[in-house]
Structure 1
């Protein structure tokens, strides 16, 4: 499935938690009135876990998946709703033989529901309070904590699904966008031709990568600035980008903007 979370208001955050957010959780209200917690990653990259305190989790960064991540997530939700305390689903298994139409996440949640993502400094939330990790879980916890990159979700209006990430040498803004790729590239090119694509003088556009059918533009940032300092520049950039997207309906790209688009199209980056 090229775009598994299409049609969901939570699409951007689901993609971010699946692709690059290290330790995060969010409550996922279901249509039947219950809820589960969706997580970036669970112990040993499990598909779902019902903790010994009864709290239900489903994971996005899983070991294996089918061609439709939305279907896999829906099946993990259905499993964890019936699971006993302490049970874990390592991977999503084969489709039940009697299933004529596979259930997808879009069938289980309100499409307009947005996620309130909670970022964690470590993975201690894997365990109920007062519980000590042992065995494989302890080893998985140690490895996961050692690999965490500092990450913050921007809170600016109009900058949903925009995350500040510090992988080491420099900080980045990774912004999951819902627009069709070609239209977004055209809007970014329009801003680039005007010299308006950076957030401020301490940033520059680095490129973009594709993830689950959407484009994720990335900016290099001055890592000496606190993540909160990027809220205002991101909000202003969001306004410029919205204007550029709107203008495409009436004004096609000129020659300079087309050259900028060609340059942006070649600037694909690889996450580290």
Structure 2
């Protein structure tokens, strides 16, 4: 029992972290006390912690429009997708292959538990079709308990053609749904020189979104040091404009001039990582200028989950 209690304290948000009248971090719009702060609540602040692919899971769940990665589950390979057709939590294909999706409509407080629940159901199902969750899954295994712990081999796609890669004959409805989905995809690329950094072309501007693993307080201090020293630029004309807070991690966001592209970012981002590591290792107190920079960066955070 003591071990179980320690696990809860580590993984779950406690009353001291969120006031009962504050909005629930799950994004439901309800007060915490009426949602995951109620008896039986199960909000997990950092649901993918411990997985080697944690940072990419956060990126694919929150802001990468179309990407896939294989997951090894026992002796089977499951396809993980950022978004499945109809935002399905999971699908069993005609071939018997199982797909699971990260961008779904439900939110029961612990995405890792939700994913594990639909994955278990899909693996136990022989009939092709959608597998989903209507009610909270309750206690049970989490994704960390099911999949081989290895970095994700992410493939970013220009659109959703992969939805129909195993379909021999396409009807008009399929073609129309695919065209509509593809029309909403912003060109995106995953950088190779660092982990979990994604370039995206948003039209009038381009962005770099980079999910980082450090503790929020430590990371903000380091970014503040670099910002105050004018050393937080990624490439010519770039600007650190804020950051997402998602599933217990921060993802700084840089604006880039239109036409920058992904390829030219590889070396500058690798160089920035070195500067960031040096700033993270700095142990002195923040100067007044650095504290002001930290306050500015903290005010530019947007919580996604």
Alignment of 1:73 onto 2:115: yes
Q: Does 1:265 align with 2:298?
A: yes
User: Cα deviations across residues 118-151 of structure 1 (Å, max 9, x unaligned)?
Assistant: 0111112112445344476555423211100000
Counterparts of 1:230 and 1:166, CA distance in 2: 13
> Is this contact kept in 2: 1:44–1:137, CA < 8 A?
no
Deviations 1:75-128, CA, capped at 9 Å, x for gaps: 111112122252211x324356xx7x41111111244x1001001111121124
Partner of 1:106: 144
CA drift of 1:204 comes to 0.9
Task: Give the Cα–Cα distance (whole angstroms) in 1 for the partners of residues 133 and 62 of structure 2.
Answer: 19
Q: Is the 8 A contact 2:246 2:303 kept in 1?
A: no
From 45, 48, 70, the equivalent of 1:2 is 45
Please list, as runs of the form range in 1=range in 2, the aligned pairs for 1:9-24 lying within 5 A after superposition.
9-24=52-67
**Would you say the 8 A contact 1:43–1:137 is kept in 2?**
no
Q: Is the 8 A contact 1:53 1:85 kept in 2?
A: no
Partner SS, residue 49 of structure 1: strand
Counterpart-to-counterpart distance in 2, 1:2 and 1:137: 37
- Greater RCO between the two (CA within 8 Å, min separation 6)? 1
The structural deviation recorded for 1:65 is 2.3
Aligned to 2:250, what secondary structure does the other structure show? strand
CA contact (8 A) 1:191 1:244 kept: yes
Structure 1 partner of 2:133? 92
Shift in Å, 1:207 = 0.8
- 2: distance between equivalents of 1:138 and 1:55? 22
What is the CA-CA distance between 1:35 and the residue it aligns to? 2.1
After superposition, the Cα gap between the structure-2 partners of 1:62 and 1:135, relative to the gap in structure 1 and judged at 3 Å, is: farther
1:162 is matched with which residue? 197
1:236 paired residue among 256, 271, 275: 271
Structure 1 segments unaligned to the other structure (5+ residues): none
Alignment of 1:1-272 (within 5 A): 1-30=44-73, 32-89=74-131, 91-94=132-135, 101-111=139-149, 113-134=150-171, 137-156=174-193, 159-247=194-282, 250-268=283-301
Measured after TM superposition, the shift of residue 259 of structure 1 is 1.2
> Partners of 2:174 and 2:126 in 1: how far apart?
18
Question: Which blocks of at least 5 consecutive residues in structure 2 are unaligned?
Answer: 1-43
* Structure 2 length-normalised TM: 0.80
Q: C-alpha separation between the residues in 1 aligned to 2:301 and 2:173?
A: 37
Residue 301 of structure 2: SS of its match in structure 1? coil
CA RMSD of aligned residues (A): 1.9
Asked if the contact 1:51/1:127 (under 8 Å) is kept, the reply is: no
